[in-house]
Each structure stands twice: as C-alpha cells, then as structure tokens.
Structure 1
Amino acid sequence: MSIFDRRAVLTKIERLRSGASPRVLDLFAGCGGLSLGFRAAGFEIAAAVEFDREAARSHGENFHPGDPRHALARDITNTSPEQLARELDLGPVSAAIDVIVGGPPCQAFARVGRSKLREIDEHPEAFMHDPRAQLYLEYLHYVDAFRPLALLMENVPDALNHGGQNIAEETCEVLRDKGYIAGYTLLNASFYGVPQMRERMILIAYREELDVEVEFPAPTHFVKLPPGYTGSRQVALKLLSKAHLADRAHSYHTPPAANPGLPSAVTAATALSDLPKMTDHLVGKLKRGARRFDEIQRYPTSKPVGFAKLMREWPGFESRVGISDHVIRYLPRDWKLFARMNAGDQYPEAHAHALKMFDEALTELRSKTGSAIRSGSKAWEALRASIVPPYDVSKFPNKWRKMEPDLPARTLMAHLGKDSYSHIHYDSAQARTISVREAARLQSFPDGFKFAGTMNPAFKQIGNAVPPLLARAVALKIQETLERAVRNQLDEPIGAAAAV
C-alpha cells in the first residue's frame, strides 16, 4: 500500500471519528433504492452515477432537490471519477467518498469467456473494446480513484453461477488484491420487512486497515419461502460445492437464519390495503394513453399502522394527504379474467379460465340469437380474441400471476416497464394489475418518493431497484462495523503515514 493510499484511508477514519456521516457514492444507482436505504441508516448520499435519463432524474430530485447537476444522466464509461468530483464539487477524489454502493449489471461482464475477473482488472487493455467487461472495469476504476473504506455490491443470485463463473467470488479476489476484506451472501428481502420475496446477492468489503470482519444483518421477519426460491438458491450455490472451491477457502457466508419466532413477513394485503381502491376502469372511465402523475388521490383512512404508517411517514419522504402515481395499465380484454382468477393463479390457470369464459360467451350469444357461431369463422375468432389471451401456455407459464394477499409478493422485475401481468392485484373486485405506487410499496419505497417520467419508465425504475428496507438493513450493519472499527483504531497521527 502506498503512502498516498494510507494517508487517504487515515484521513477518512479521522473524519468519521469526529462524528461526520459516511459519504456514499451510488454507482449504477437507478432511481435510488440503495441510496434511500443508506440515507435512512444515517449515511450522506454525496453523488450517484446513472445512465438512464428518467432514473437519474428521479435520483437527483429525491436526494438533491433543486440541484440539476445531480439529476443528469451520466455514462460511467465516459465519466471519469475526477470529472464527476469536479462537476459535483466533491473535492479531492481520494478524500471525497467513504462508501461506494451499487454493482455493475451482471450481464455486462459475466460472459467474457472463462477469463477470471482478476485478469480483466490486471489486463484492461485486452478488454478495452469489450462492452461486457467495460462496466466492471469502470467500477474498479472508481474504487481505485475514490479509495472507499467500505463497498457494497448488489446483484442477482445468478452472480454466483453465471455461465460457470462465480462472479461474486472472483470479485472478492479482485478486491483482496486491492487491499479489501470481502465476503458475500444471498439475502431475501422478505426477511427484512419488504413485502416481496426478492432474493439478492450482497457483497460487502472493507479496507483491510479497519481490521474488521464482514457480517450481514440478522433477519427481522419470517416467512416460509416457496419451493421455487429454495431451488433457485441451490442452483446459485451449485459452484460452491465444486472441488475447486470446496477444497479451499472462499468468501461465501451462510446467510443469517430467519426463524419462525420472528414477526411474520409483511404481506401484499398489509402493504397495499390502505391505498385508494380503483374501479373506474371497470365502468369505462379509463382510456388508453400515457399515465402522468398529476392527480392526487387521497388516502381512504388517516390512521395507518405498521408498514403503511412507515410508508406514509418515512423521514424526509412523508406523504400526508395522498398519492399522485396510483395509475394502472389499460387492459380491457383482461379485466373480467382478472376477476375470475384465484389467488396464486398463473398463466395456465388464467388461460383455462379464459377458455371457460369464451364457452360461456358462445352459449350466451346462442341463447340471444338462436343460432351458434361457426367454429373457426371470423366472428368466432374475433370473439375468442376478445376474451382469450394469445400466449402459448407451454412457453409462458410464469407470465401472469395473481398475488396472494396473505403472502409477500413474488419478485418484481424491470419487465414491469413493459407489462404488469406478473403482479395482478389480489382483490377481484378491483380486477386489475398493480399501480405504480403499489409496485413502489411492494419494493418498500415510501409514498413521498417521486418517480420521474410517466408510467412505463416509473415501473422500470421500480423493478430495477434494490428494496430500500433491505438496503437499510445492510447499511445499518455496515454503519455498525465502521463505528466499531473507528473506535478500535489507534490514535495514530495522520502525518505518521509519511513515515510508512
């Protein structure tokens, strides 16, 4: 470690020892799920880098309102750390940031052949023109420049087994070469108060000078996860059982166990039932077109409790009167089908319901006209198309799902930006897919958090985000570790670094 590196680390330790809040840089920030969780844990959100224009606007408007510099979209591949620090007045790069959070998109660097990520870091010129590796290289470039005391990288569970690579393990190897102690695990958001069973890979690293161990937050809630989640975790962990990892130390940590004695996980009904009901679409009052967030819908009750109270009263993001993004998609063919579906039904069940509804419509039409429509005729095909979705049951079994009210929701995906069939509202009387604000609730975004753009970009931002309550749980553990490390540091003068 160079004298310059050590001086930067000691300067940051001294700053935290004085009582200052750790400063966070959020890379690949999206609209700010990680930032929101870290802010709630007492961190200062100093800066963010996000390529998507609407997501960058959301981040800037929520964390640096009134400062348009923070709302600009930035491409990390052509924005250097020095340029970012200059544009946002962060000060000297090596002293500006204490914690980096985020993570390069897994697909951007996972399929770089069988090359180890360490090799990419050591030989960047060999990968200069490979967009799949470029984002990972830039992330490491930011780590090298800002020299954070701690890192958080978040990704999908497949980062442990993506095309035969354990990207999380390889990332820990790279970080160890750079002077960090690193470890990773899999955490499910439902164990941390999020009304969603979302599994994520969480990697934490600390400067080795801090002399701490990587730890992960203990669960606060319990739910018995469906078999699909258990199976996905087993697939993700498959490489850890291979001889080349089993025979040597690796950086995977078994996640802290959630036990049935904890409070029950927050369910979909608990998360959404205090929001205004929506039935206008069932009586012809909803039209096709862009959905904007310019109409406030008042809360039906002024005395929320539990999760709803937290969502309305989150410090800095309070919403006292109502919500302005309670908007849904225009899906007139399917509203009656949504009402017919049972909780937990997926596309095969939905398609079967639709076929039955089509038969009922044929029977009703024959009763009214006294004659049947010939099977396969244009009239028959038109009636069928107006009732039965066209997707192949064998190819799209998970495309639709009606939420169970007494369970957390299944994982929200960025695909919400294209359609919302994966999260059909559990209330048959409302017969619809979830609204933008309901999606935000299921991710644990408070009601006062604003999403830039219209409905589709907002859905995409929400689906891509890290649940803020999961982020807060991890941030509190990092805060605890940093505070312990700072307390345990010897009172070594900063100038002593010059003698090292």
Structure 2
Amino acid sequence: MNFIDLFAGAGGLSEGFIRQGFEPIAHIEMDRYASLTLKTRAAFHYLKEHEKLEIYHAYLRGEIDQSKLYSEVDAKVLNTIMNMEISDSTIEEIFRTIDDNLKEKGISSIDVLIGGPPCQAYSLVGRARDPYKKENDPRNYLYQQYVKFLEKYEPKLFLFENVPGILTAGKGHLFEDVKRIMDESGYSIEAKVLDASSFGVLQKRKRVILVGWKKGINLFYPEFNEISHNFLVNDLLSDLPVLNPGETKDYHYHSSPNQYLMDFGIRDENDILVQHISRSHNSRDREIYKSAIKKWNTEKKRLKYTDVPEGERTHKNVTSFLDRFKVVAGDIGYSHTMVAHIAKDGHYYIHPDINQLRSLSVREAARIQSFPDNFYFEGPRTAVFTQIGNAVPPLMAENIAKEISLLLQGKLPRQIELTI
C-alpha cells in the first residue's frame, strides 16, 4: 500500500506508516530544513533496506557530508520529497510531480492520504494571545488545499491530524466546514481526540485524528487499543551522558539501552548517539531551574512564576502563564506536551536531574516525541527543536498505521464507534 504525506514536517506521521510497510509516493513540506530531514530519513530507510547502514553511520559520525550520503541513494527515492508550499499557485506543479512519481513506479492509484495543515492557527494558546482569535489567519483554510488532493487522487482512505483547538476555532464553525467539504468530496468521516500516551509514548499529547473513507467502501474508524506499561520518563533519559548547559556529547552512551528503549524501538545496541546537544543558560535561569526541580522532588508541585523572587524575574506579567518554568517530571509515566515553543527557550522543559540544571537536549526532546535515536534532524538547533515540537510522535503514528493497514486489508472486525 502507498501514501502521500501533506504538510509533512519532519516526518513523524510518515515514519509510522513506513514502518508498517506503506510506500511513500510524495512528501510535501514547505520548510527547507524539515524537507532535508525527510531526505535524510529516506536515505536511512533506503540504506537499511539495501544493508548499507554503515554509510548512514558514517554520515552521523561526520565522516561523509550530506551530498555524499544522498549520492548513495536512488534518486527516485529522494524525488518523493518536495520542498514546496501547498497553494493555489503551486498545486498543479505538485500534481504533475506526483503523477510522474506514480507513472515511474507503475502505480495507478493512491491508497492513503495523510497529514495535517500547520496547527498554530488552531492553538488555544495562540488564540488566547490574539484579540481576533486567529479567525482571519490564512492557515485556518489550508484544509481546503488538503481536500483538493482528495478530489484529485481519490484515495481509499485519508487521515487528517490536528490540535484539539481546531474543534472550537471560529466557535466550532471552522471544523464543521472541514467536515462538510470532505463529505461533499465523497468521503464518510469520523473524528476522535486521541492521546499519544495511549500508544506507548511517554508524553501527554492530545490530537484530533480524523479518518475518512470513500463512500460505498465498507470501511470504518478503527478501534485503537491502549498500550499499558509501567515505564517512567526517567527510562527515556537514564542512558544518556550528563550534560552541562551549552555542551554536546555525541557518539557514546552512558549505559546500555533499557527495556523501554528496546521494547518501543527508541534505541538498540547498534545506534550511535547524535544530537545530544544542550543550549546555554545564564546563572539566574539555572537558579530558577533548581527551585523548580526541588519543588517537584520534595512537594510534587509545580513552580509558579510568583514563587520566583522578584529580583530574579524577567517578566512583569505575574497574572498569566505562571507555569513558564516547568520540570519534565522523570518519576511519572509521561511528560507534559512537547510543543514548538521549545525552539525559543527551554524554560518549559527543564531536565529533572538537579545536578544538570539545564533544559532538555535535542535528543531528549526527540525521545519524548518517541523519535528513535537513528532519526537525524537537519538544520540549526532552533530549526530542529521546531521540527520536533511540531511532529506527530512516530510511535503513535505507527500504531494508527497498523490498524489502518489491517482495515484496508479487511482484517479488522467492525466495533462500536464513539464520535466527538
């Protein structure tokens, strides 16, 4: 089975479908660095399939450059990644490229369309800061571009992912419009709010997952079974070297992979540690970090900004966003939600070890999003954090893709469905 990924980002959603045997026909992503991340991941999958992972490892160790890595990969594989904005002015060119890819592969139809338009416009936090509630944000209407792909390629099934804020944007009218035009395009649809923590991801992360299928086809919204376990966030972090602010420690782990890392595909014995990079922090922020960690460790309470001594505060606002300094609690089974704001500063993602007094490294943030250690992100640190914060956790995506694969093969019994 095959798929097209729209608004692909770093490829978290795509990663899950590839793991379940789906073949990518196209990834469309407007951000340059995210597109390069997609290319590098495509190189990984190609080299793994052809038993040439030593080339990929050489790239991770800095022994070969990006152009050399890409030269070892079939051009048809890299051509599936399109660094383009999806708009009225580009869509015909995108269609032509996809058609060429289909022709070259000898494929006559698309099985699945996946993706979610940029979600900042639907963010509840974003709307809280905007007196116009984001209702005039052009990103609110990118779903109309998504529907053009439905009408052009008529996939058997599609998956539309977004933040829960889409349900209430424009007093609910926006989501009603989304469902209406998808219905008019010939699809039965159903949407649910799913939490990544139900899929083995050590993070509370709620997302709207809308699934649509062509009318007349005997499909339905699959039932997803919750994965139960007793692992803690510390299980994600314990094998990584201790870092001081501003340090990088790549290539060598502190210890062997534990059961969580192996069972959930985060790390194996052959992996090379990369992008274990910490940002720098000033002494004032580190003192606040220490207070936040102590408060959690001793009282299991979060530091409020009003708890910070007045002389150490950098913001005058003490009535809202009081949780701007937040520890990633290592002693419970999930982190709070990872968002793209981590690219701006690390105050909301403080490492739980009081001996390190820093925010999460790039690799630690990627792990909280369930990206495996062999997943390399291209671009400067800020761009990489943005890619990670915006991504669909691959573990969540893989479990959804598994059920969709079984559904399309007619191997799923129909169950009682609950709609939002």
Q: TM-score, structure 1 length as denominator? A: 0.66
Return the index of the structure with the highest Cα Rg: 1
Measure, in 2, the Cα distance between the counterparts of 1:426 and 1:130. Answer: 37
Shift in Å at residue 268 of structure 1?
A: 1.7
Match of 2:260 in 1: 306
Which residues of structure 2 form unaligned runs of 5+?
Answer: 45-69, 124-135, 415-420
Match of 2:209 in 1: 202
Match of 1:29 in 2: 8
Task: Give CA deviations for 1:46-92 in whole Å, capped at 9, x if unaligned.
Answer: 21101111111111210256345345411111133422315646559
> Quick check: 2:122–2:163 contact (8 Å CA) kept in 1?
no
The answer on 1:320 being equivalent to 2:276 is no
Which residues of structure 1 form unaligned runs of 5+?
Answer: 1-21, 111-128, 222-262, 356-383, 489-500
In the superposition, relative to structure 1, how do residues 131 and 324 fare at CA in structure 2: closer, same or farther (>3 Å)? same
Q: Percent identity?
A: 30
From 444, 450, 455, the equivalent of 2:370 is 444
Match of 2:126 in 1: none
Match of 1:192 in 2: 199
Measure, in 2, the Cα distance between the counterparts of 1:277 and 1:345. Answer: 25
Match of 2:346 in 1: 420
> Quick check: 1:85–1:91 contact (8 Å CA) kept in 2?
no
> Quick check: 1:85–1:93 contact (8 Å CA) kept in 2?
no
From 66, 84, 107, the equivalent of 1:74 is 84
> Quick check: 1:109–1:135 contact (8 Å CA) kept in 2?
no
Match of 1:405 in 2: 330
> Quick check: 1:37–1:472 contact (8 Å CA) kept in 2?
yes
Shift in Å at residue 401 of structure 1?
A: 0.6
Measure, in 2, the Cα distance between the counterparts of 1:392 and 1:130. Answer: 26
In the superposition, relative to structure 1, how do residues 398 and 486 fare at CA in structure 2: closer, same or farther (>3 Å)? closer
From 98, 110, 114, the equivalent of 1:97 is 110
In the superposition, relative to structure 1, how do residues 329 and 175 fare at CA in structure 2: closer, same or farther (>3 Å)? same
Match of 1:152 in 2: 159
> Quick check: 2:16–2:396 contact (8 Å CA) kept in 1?
yes
Q: Which SS does the other structure have where 1:151 is aligned?
A: strand
Q: Which SS does the other structure have where 2:341 is aligned?
A: helix
Return the letter of the residue paired with 1:338: Y
Measure, in 1, the Cα distance between the counterparts of 2:137 and 2:291. Answer: 49
Q: Which SS does the other structure have where 1:186 is aligned?
A: strand
Give 1:239-388 correspondences, 5 Å limit.
263-264=229-230, 266-279=231-244, 281=245, 286=246, 296-308=250-262, 310-313=264-267, 320-333=270-283, 334-341=285-292, 342-343=295-296, 346=302, 348=304, 352-355=307-310, 384=311, 387-388=312-313
> Quick check: 1:276–1:297 contact (8 Å CA) kept in 2?
no
The answer on 1:85 being equivalent to 2:36 is no
Task: Give CA deviations for 1:97-119 in whole Å, capped at 9, x if unaligned.
Answer: 21000122356699xxxxxxxxx
> Quick check: 1:56–1:72 contact (8 Å CA) kept in 2?
yes
Match of 2:315 in 1: 390
Aligned length: 361
Shift in Å at residue 309 of structure 1?
A: 5.2
Return the letter of the residue paired with 2:235: T
Displacement over 6 Å in runs of 4+: 485-488
Task: Give CA deviations for 1:296-324 in whole Å, capped at 9, x if unaligned.
Answer: 241111242223553444xxxx6725312
Measure, in 2, the Cα distance between the counterparts of 1:322 and 1:130. Answer: 42
Q: Which SS does the other structure have where 2:351 is aligned?
A: coil
Larger mean CA deviation between 333-342 and 192-201 belongs to 333-342
Measure, in 2, the Cα distance between the counterparts of 1:64 and 1:88. Answer: 17
Measure, in 2, the Cα distance between the counterparts of 1:473 and 1:75. Answer: 29
> Quick check: 2:25–2:80 contact (8 Å CA) kept in 1?
no
Shift in Å at residue 180 of structure 1?
A: 1.6
Q: TM-score, structure 2 length as denominator? A: 0.78
In the superposition, relative to structure 1, how do residues 135 and 388 fare at CA in structure 2: closer, same or farther (>3 Å)? closer
Give 1:481-492 correspondences, 5 Å limit.
481-484=407-410
- Coordinate RMSD, CA, aligned: 3.0
Return the letter of the residue paired with 2:394: P
